[in-house]
């Protein structure tokens, strides 16, 4: 292929503009990103060579080399990993080949700190080289191709790049950074060793640099200089961090390793590192991030921890090792039992994988219970896996962390109620909600039970589109009057998740918007008798309302839950809420056809006007539509509603 000039994908051009305008607040981060990419390329070669040893090309020792040339002002990071073909260079270096790209770019705001976080989460570390370079040259040859099939890729980080075929004897990739004048500090062995030690010490491959020694000048009066000896030395520990004893790894090293594997710029909230022995042997190093990735809800995105077998990298997103509702967890699992040629299909069927999945799930839940314990200053939570060696900072440093976690990942955690029957009780204890006594999402079921009124025999809750709609729902009026706390649930997943949780610790959960309100011992006999008498006296009006609203309401009845509002909508105990039905329709899914029940308050002035009113039909429909509006819905015919209201106002 002769030299040709190609344009970057529009998203890459936008990304490069942000990077070159000092997006990264810490410029030395480019070393970590490029060394990490080089290590990944070696891991991929090792994996592909399991089925084709010829790919090693008589050079089985994998390594990363870092060199610099002060005269040319270049810094080179070279690996002998899998390498790239010409087409792969075009695809990988000129395009962000990941799902959700447009969504990602749409979230970039121009705020440097916020955008740096997003770019880190998206994992486009190669472009960080343009923080310090005004030109990058990449020379590569894919393992297994002829020497004449090498490729050179060159770009100045503007709108285009050049690519051409070259002769390259060595397999792998060389990334050559042509440094700007303000980045010449990286043409220094001491500086490079310091940065590599800080960010890449955990890389399991040797990172080599040429040794230097001081040489006196042969001319009197002239200073000496450091010269290269031609010998190479390893400048990192070259052992996988998760294989080291915990007492030898510092908190800073754990955090740096997390940043390297997750491309996150923030330290994790907590982590757990341990070796599991027994019928299945494996090492796990699992992290809870501090921030949710922008594509957490993208179902097309693969998620999971890195899988190694006997320290050999197998795959990046081993989805089978953790359930979907824990897809935010990052980390490494290294198995001693799985075969090296493990496939995604085998992962679904293996008994060892099932054991790893169960053990890792319990480990993550133990970490969350530990954070929740310190967040609420409770007695230690009792895990079910007997694990107590969660590695993290001291207890005081954990205070407030669970609230941060829950704000980012609480909605995902709720998916576990429907996906993980075995851990449902543990998950229920980790859930938090706002309530009629607390606007903050901090109330757990256990907190609620501890505050229940004497004689109360259910945990009451309401689901709504947002906190304001929940707090102001007419269905809460009788509960507020009697001082009964109600949990306010506003996540889209709540309605679905609670189908799988009928009670908590023996106390049933009851939606205040379903079925007839039965407060049991909390409602005295006088109140019950008054309600029965009101219903009897109002029977003629109810009959007319049922007839007028027969196309909209399944039934019309006198309410026992309203105090100030004229009407509200409820569904039968086994029915689908109107909120969930709306959500399904918005998602383009078919919702079961069902009509709500209209409950009316015979003590309200508007309802009293119904009896004998010449506008009965219009008032009936206004009552229904207003009840629908109060819970966040819209009338089927908004224009007709407005016309009726205007006619009555006039």
| Topology at the third CATH level for domain 4-236 | Heat Shock Protein 90 (3.30.565)
Q: Stretch 492-521: mean pLDDT, rounded?
A: 84
- Whether 242-402 and 4-236 are alike in CATH topology: the answer is no
SS3 assignment for 87-112: HHHHHHHHCCCCCCHHHHHHHCCCCH
The conformation of residue 381, written as its DSSP 8-state character, comes to P
* Mean pLDDT over each residue of the chain, to the nearest integer: 84
pLDDT band at 378 (very low <50, low <70, confident <90, very high): very low
Pick the closest to residue 43 from 81, 77, 7, 4 (CA basis). 81
Angle at 59 between CA 312 and CA 36, to 5 degrees: 50
| Topology at the third CATH level for domain 242-402 | Ribosomal Protein S5; domain 2 (3.30.230)
Does residue 329 contact residue 305 with C-beta atoms inside 8 Å? Answer: yes
Share of the chain above pLDDT 70, in %: 84
| Topology at the third CATH level for domain 538-571+582-649 | 1.20.120
As a whole number of angstroms, the distance between CA 240 and CA 98 comes to 28
Element (H, E) at 261: helix 251-262
Q: For 337-351, how does the pLDDT look when each residue is reduced to its tens digit (9 = 90+)?
A: 888 767 666 777 788
Angle at 27 between CA 243 and CA 40, to 5 degrees: 35
User: What's the order of all strands across the beta sheet hosting 270-276?
Assistant: 270-276, 282-288, 330-335, 305-309, 312-318
SS3 (DSSP) at 498? helix
Position 385 scores a pLDDT of 46
pLDDT band at 390 (very low <50, low <70, confident <90, very high): low
Give the annotated binding-site residues for ATP.
33, 37, 79, 84, 98-100, 121-126, 173, 344
Does residue 386 contact residue 369 with C-beta atoms inside 8 Å? Answer: no
- Residue 382 pLDDT > 60, yes or no? no
Does residue 434 contact residue 488 with C-beta atoms inside 8 Å? Answer: yes
Least confident of 325-329, 355-359, 364-368, 598-602: 598-602
- Residue 361 pLDDT > 80, yes or no? yes
- Residue 383 pLDDT > 50, yes or no? no
As a whole number of angstroms, the distance between CA 595 and CA 553 comes to 5
Least confident of 2-6, 469-473, 533-537, 601-605: 533-537
pLDDT band at 430 (very low <50, low <70, confident <90, very high): very high
- Residue 99 pLDDT > 50, yes or no? no
SS3 assignment for 158-180: CCEEEEEEECCCCCEEEEEEEEC
- Give domain limits for the chain: 4-236, 242-402, 538-571+582-649
pLDDT band at 523 (very low <50, low <70, confident <90, very high): low
- Residue 199 pLDDT > 80, yes or no? no
Give the annotated binding-site residues.
33, 37, 79, 84, 98-100, 121-126, 173, 344
CB neighbourhood size of 32 (10 A): 22
The conformation of residue 278, written as its DSSP 8-state character, comes to S
Q: For 32-60, how does the pLDDT look when each residue is reduced to its tens digit (9 = 90+)?
A: 889 988 998 998 998 899 889 999 998 99
Q: Stretch 283-289: mean pLDDT, rounded?
A: 96
User: What's the order of all strands across the beta sheet hosting 567-570?
Assistant: 555-558, 597-600, 567-570
pLDDT band at 586 (very low <50, low <70, confident <90, very high): low
User: What's the order of all strands across the beta sheet hosting 459-463?
Assistant: 438-443, 433-435, 487-489, 459-463, 507-511, 503-504
pTM value is 0.71
As a whole number of angstroms, the distance between CA 453 and CA 387 comes to 36
């Amino acid at each position: 292929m002769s030299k040709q000039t190609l344009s970057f994908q529009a998203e890459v051009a936008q990304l490069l503009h942000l990077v070159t305008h000092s997006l990264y607040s810490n410029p030395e981060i480019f070393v970590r990103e490029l060394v990490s990419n080089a290590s990944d390329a070696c891991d991929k070669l090792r994996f592909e060579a399991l089925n084709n040893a010829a790919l090693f090309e008589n050079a089985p020792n994998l390594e990363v080399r870092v060199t610099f040339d002060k005269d040319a002002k270049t810094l080179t990071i070279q690996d002998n990993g899998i390498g790239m073909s010409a087409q792969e260079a075009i695809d990988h270096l000129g395009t962000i080949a990941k799902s959700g790209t447009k969504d990602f770019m749409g979230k970039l705001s121009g705020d440097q700190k916020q955008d740096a976080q997003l770019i880190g989460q998206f994992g486009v570390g190669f472009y960080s080289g343009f923080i310090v370079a005004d030109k990058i040259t990449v020379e590569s040859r894919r393992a297994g191709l002829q020497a004449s099939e090498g490729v050179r890729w060159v770009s100045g980080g503007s709108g285009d790049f050049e690519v051409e075929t070259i002769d390259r004897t060595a397999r792998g990739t060389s990334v050559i950074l042509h440094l700007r004048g303000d980045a010449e500090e990286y043409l220094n062995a001491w500086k490079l060793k310091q940065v590599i030690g800080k960010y890449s010490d955990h890389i399991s491959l040797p990172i080599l640099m040429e040794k230097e020694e001081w040489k006196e000048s042969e001319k009197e009066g002239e200073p000496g200089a450091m010269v290269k000896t031609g010998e190479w030395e390893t400048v990192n520990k070259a052992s996988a961090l998760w294989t080291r004893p915990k007492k030898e790894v510092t908190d800073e090293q754990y955090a740096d390793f997390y940043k390297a594997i997750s491309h996150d710029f923030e330290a994790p909230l907590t982590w757990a590192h341990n070796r599991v022995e027994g019928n299945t042997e494996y090492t796990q190093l699992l992290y809870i991030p501090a921030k949710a990735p922008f594509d957490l809800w993208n179902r097309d995105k693969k998620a999971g921890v890195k899988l190694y077998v006997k320290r050999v990298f197998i795959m990046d997103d081993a989805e089978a090792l953790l359930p979907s509702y824990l897809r935010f967890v990052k980390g490494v699992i290294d198995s001693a039992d799985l075969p090296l040629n493990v496939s995604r299909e085998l992962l679904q069927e293996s008994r060892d994988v099932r054991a790893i999945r169960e053990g890792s799930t319990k480990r993550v839940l133990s970490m969350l219970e530990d954070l929740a314990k310190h967040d609420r200053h409770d007695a230690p939570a009792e895990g079910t896996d007997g694990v107590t060696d969660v590695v993290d900072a001291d207890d005081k440093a954990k205070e407030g962390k669970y609230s941060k976690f829950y704000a980012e990942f609480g909605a995902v955690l709720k998916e576990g109620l429907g996906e993980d029957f075995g851990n449902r009780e543990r998950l229920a204890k980790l859930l938090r909600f706002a309530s009629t006594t607390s606007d903050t999402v901090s109330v757990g079921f256990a907190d609620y039970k501890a505050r229940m009124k004497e004689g109360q025999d259910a945990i009451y809750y309401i689901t709504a589109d947002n906190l304001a709609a929940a707090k102001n729902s007419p269905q809460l009026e009788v509960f507020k009057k009697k001082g009964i706390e109600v949990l306010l649930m506003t996540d889209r997943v709540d309605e679905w998740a609670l189908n799988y949780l009928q009670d908590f610790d023996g106390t049933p959960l009851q939606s205040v918007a379903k079925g007839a309100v039965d407060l049991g011992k909390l409602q005295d006999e006088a109140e019950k008798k008054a309600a029965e008498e009101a219903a009897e006296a109002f029977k003629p009006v109810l009959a007319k309302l049922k007839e007028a609203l027969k196309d909209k309401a399944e039934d019309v009845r006198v309410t026992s839950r309203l105090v100030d509002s004229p009407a509200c909508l409820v569904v039968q105990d086994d029915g689908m809420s109107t909120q969930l039905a709306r959500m399904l329709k918005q998602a383009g899914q078919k919702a079961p056809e069902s009509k709500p029940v209209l409950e009316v308050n015979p003590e309200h002035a508007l309802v009293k006007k119904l009896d004998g009113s010449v506008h009965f039909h219009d008032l009936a429909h206004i009552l229904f539509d207003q009840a629908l509006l109060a819970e966040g819905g819209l009338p089927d015919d908004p224009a007709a509603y407005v016309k009726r209201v205007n006619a009555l106002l006039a």
